[in-house]
Chain A
């Protein structure tokens, strides 16, 4: 049962930003993650500013420069089912198709998906953890089987989004509207690591709204894929996932990005792994080395050591599959 809150559904972005100025106001898009947080008392909200009525933030459109504009309110299911996305950005279509469950993909938005709060059971549960303003990260000495092996510092959540690693692999950006102006932030700079600020997962301020996602024109020879390993077939976040976007010319990788999900508090771009495969063909040996490179700095907590061999295996397998596709 949800606690009480006031509710407003603005008809314009300007009004939505205005409504967000109230203390305790929070923006809600699809609501699938947001309402769950309210049910679990993850944060307080005295007023929901629903942006569900802002139709201009919906839809997928090809831009004149060949890139793609995805409105932040576009349902995840629409991204997963879009022919243009599937055709040109396979990694994104696959990642969107792996999100949660069909009903939640119908409800949840792409903007909400990259901004969702962590699924760490201490963060979601009745634990006053570091990320909620407490003094302890319960995962460090606790049940940390689903927690980070990279980038953990004070807090060991993993970022829950599937689409964010895919967008990062594609070099996408996010447009953010604020009270005074809008800004465009590359996905590479959108997420915040816990050693910078443990209370947030991204650079979005409380009174800002993600309005659209901009994906650059696919490079010639782009091959991309998303692979997610999880404890059950649906409705589950990644134990280990990898978003690949490789530019292949004449059998050789000329450029590429490898971004991990389920590894770190942010979508984790592994430049070390990228370095192992750029400049040559993806051979089994190179794929193995890329997996090993991605995990070189990984450190396990008490119960998540399996993630290290798992990531190695998944990266290797998926690289070979993509290179030989």
Chain B
């Protein structure tokens, strides 16, 4: 079953083609890496797929819903987390999760249970009444991820979730990604850390609005005749 099906997805801003007829599919439970240089069109593509921006032409089915006609449904079935905005600093850990859970209309009793389970998994239960402002960045990122999947979305979009995080927390974060994927949540992730691209089941590289490469990390390395994804990226973008 496919969680994402993009068909000739295109976005123009005036004369500028930000996203140019991209086609790809992502399977349910897959970890899909979305790479590209700055300005390649990644953010525009993610905005369209999360129902925030209408395409100029083409379409994408997200969890079976069309981004052109069913964007409201899409918002209920996806989660989203970025490095920049994730949680409210002046609410506590618990209040943040409660707020997001309530927005997604999780029944109160059920919500409380899910928050407790989630905090227990993260070993953050003793921090539930701490203000988010006061907890370390590494914890915040893990908490933001747990919050983004509290409503058990079909797909979660992660936009540079580990940017600026220390090497140990980065790896802990990926452990959470693997757990979520194993539970059936589809992961769509962007990163500038090339070692993280290797953790993806499949990945793609965007350049000048086009999706130029797509495959498993091993396939792409073989195709480009190099040993690491870093070299794939450099070779590809400089071309």
Mutual binders A and B: no
